């Protein structure tokens, strides 16, 4: 068995001064190149799990290792995030006053790329997600599926080995969902990206190789299909 790229053991995350245990002892190992679907009812801790893996939230107890970094000890979380993690949230998290291309460029502000290199890289990513001809459009001028494809392009800007997506198809019609899923799947195949997708959608789960069921802040079952 290859080593887990994401390792959680006994992870506890509380809110409300400890009264609310959003994660209540989560054990989970995800291997490099895996395609994982996280499922479970509203409020069971799925987004909290994703946010802790992305180091956007700190944990209260347990072990959390991502891509060789012990996140409880890591002092350079911004660097870690920029190098290892791409994040796709639900719709409408693009910056409204920026064009599609500028939105993708924002992800590269911290990198060593020059302005023209950022522009060229953003253009290439927009072409990859089929949005090259809409580079100058602002989010309000794009459909929900188009916005989500720009969000995927932005998440990929720094070629992250790990892509985390929180209900990426949540508010899309079924045809548009399929396109976004095809895109995620092609990434997984072509770049070997480790894909962790929170979803309520059984069609997304059907494409995954590893399904994780959560309930009340715990992982209750896992299924592997290869
Ligand atoms: N910043 C926060 N402050 C306080 N409580 C929070 C915070 N974030 C999440 N919670 C609580 O933690 C629990 C888990 O929330 P989480 O967002 O992880 O659920 P979820 O599984 O993603 O649900 P959904 O499917 O509705 O998105 C919920 O009870 C929620 O109210
Ligand atoms: Mg959620």
Per-residue tokens: 78: 């911004």
Ligand 2 centroid to Cα of residue 47, in Å, is 4
Does ligand 1 lie within 6 Å of residue 42's CB atom? yes
Q: Which CATH architecture has domain 32-47+78-224?
A: 3-Layer(aba) Sandwich (3.40)
Give me the phi and psi of 17, to 5 degrees please. Answer: 50, 40
Does ligand 1 lie within 6 Å of residue 20's CB atom? yes
Ligand 1 centroid to Cα of residue 162, in Å, is 22
Atom of ligand 1 nearest to the CA of 51: 18
Ligand 1 centroid to Cα of residue 46, in Å, is 8
What's the pLDDT at 100?
Answer: 97
Q: Which of the listed residues 14, 24, 43 should we mutate to test ligand 1's pocket, taking the one with most ligand atoms within 8 A of CB?
A: 43
pLDDT tens, position by position, for the chain (226 residues)?
Answer: 567 999 999 999 999 999 999 999 999 999 999 999 999 999 999 999 999 999 999 999 999 999 999 999 998 998 999 899 999 886 568 999 999 999 999 999 888 899 999 999 999 999 988 899 999 999 999 988 899 889 989 998 888 999 999 998 877 778 878 888 888 888 888 889 999 999 998 888 999 999 999 999 999 999 998 6
What's the pLDDT at 144?
Answer: 85
Does ligand 1 lie within 6 Å of residue 103's CB atom? no
Task: Please report where in the chains the tokens 């253009």 appear, as a residue.
Answer: 123
Q: List the 4-15 sheet strands across, edge first.
A: 20-31, 4-15, 61-66, 69-70
CB-based contacts of 143, cutoff 8 Å, min separation 6: 176
Ligand 2 centroid to Cα of residue 45, in Å, is 7
What's the pLDDT at 2?
Answer: 60
d(CA 222, CA 109): 38
Ligand 2 centroid to Cα of residue 87, in Å, is 14
What's the pLDDT at 177?
Answer: 82
Q: Which of 154, 56, 136 shows the shortest CA–CA distance to 100? A: 136
HEC letters along the chain:
CCCEEEEEEEEEEEECCCCEEEEEEEEEEEECCCEEEEECCCCCCHHHHHHHHCCCCCCCEEEEEECCEECCCCCCHHHHHHHHEEEECCCCCCCCCCCHHHHHHHCCCCCCCCHHHHHHHHHHHHHHCCCHHHCCCCHHHCCHHHHHHHHHHHHCCCCCCEEEEECCCCCCCHHHHHHHHHHHHHHHHHHCCEEEEECCCHHHHHHCCEEEEEECCEEEEEEECC
Q: Which of the listed residues 42, 45, 51 should we mutate to test ligand 1's pocket, taking the one with most ligand atoms within 8 A of CB?
A: 45
Most distant CA pair in the chain, distance: 50
Specify the long-range contacts of residues 14-18, CB closer than 8 Å, at least 24 apart.
Answer: 14/60, 18/60
Does ligand 1 lie within 6 Å of residue 140's CB atom? no
Q: What is the pTM for the complete model shown?
A: 0.90
Does ligand 1 lie within 6 Å of residue 15's CB atom? yes
Does ligand 1 lie within 6 Å of residue 160's CB atom? no
Question: Where do the domains of the chain lie?
Answer: 32-47+78-224
Question: What b/e string do you get for 98-117 counting C-beta neighbours within 10 Å, with b at 16 or more?
Answer: ebbbbbbbebbeeeebeeee
Ligand 1 centroid to Cα of residue 21, in Å, is 10
């Amino acid at each position: 068995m290859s080593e887990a790229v994401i390792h959680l053991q006994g992870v506890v995350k509380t809110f409300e001064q400890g009264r609310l245990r959003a994660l209540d002892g989560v054990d989970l190992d995800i291997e490099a190149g895996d395609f994982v679907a996280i499922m479970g009812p509203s409020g069971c801790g799925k987004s909290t799990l994703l946010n802790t893996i992305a180091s956007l939230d700190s944990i209260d107890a347990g072990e959390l290792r991502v891509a060789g970094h012990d996140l409880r000890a890591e002092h350079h979380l911004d660097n870690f995030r920029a190098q290892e993690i791409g994040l796709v949230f639900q719709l409408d998290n693009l910056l409204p006053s920026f064009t599609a291309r500028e939105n993708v460029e924002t992800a590269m502000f911290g990198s060593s790329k020059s302005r023209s290199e950022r522009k060229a890289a953003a253009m290439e990513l927009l072409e990859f997600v089929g949005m090259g001809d809409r580079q100058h459009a602002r989010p309000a001028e794009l459909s929900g599926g188009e916005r989500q494809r720009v969000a995927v392009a932005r998440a990929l800007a720094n070629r992250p080995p790990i892509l985390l997506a929180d209900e990426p198809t949540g508010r899309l019609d079924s045809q548009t969902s399929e396109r976004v899923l095809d895109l995620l799947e092609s990434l997984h195949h072509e770049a070997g990206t480790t894909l962790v997708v929170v979803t309520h959608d059984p069609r997304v789960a059907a494409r995954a190789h590893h399904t994780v069921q959560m309930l009340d802040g715990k992982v209750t079952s896992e299924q592997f299909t290869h």
